[in-house]
Chain A
Amino acid sequence: QSALTQPPSASGSPGQSITISCTGTSSDVGGYNFVSWYQQHPGKAPKLLIYEVTKRPSGVPDRFSGSKSGNTASLTVSGLQAEDEADYFCCSYAGSDSWVFGGGTQLTVL
Chain B
Amino acid sequence: EVQLVQSGAEVKKPGESLKISCKGSGYRFTNYWIGWVRQMPGRGLEWMGIIYPGDSNVRYSPSFQGRVTISADKSISTAYLQWSSLKASDTGMYYCTRWAAVAADNWGQGTPVTVSS
Contact = CB atoms under 8 A, between A and B. Distances in A.
Interface of A: 1, 3, 34, 36, 38, 45-48, 51-52, 57, 89, 91, 93, 96-104
B102 A47 contact: no
A36 B106 CA distance: 13
B107 A99 contact: no
Contacts of B82: none
Nearest to B50: A97
A34 B95 CA distance: 21
Given A97-B59, A98-B59, A99-B35, A57 B105 contact: yes
Interface residues of B, number: 23
B107 A46 contact: yes
Contacts, number: 61
A11 B108 CA distance: 29
A94 B35 CA distance: 15
B46 A101 contact: yes
A36 B107 CA distance: 14
A24 to B, nearest CB: 13
B62 interface: yes
A34 B102 contact: yes
B103 A52 contact: yes
B47 A98 contact: yes
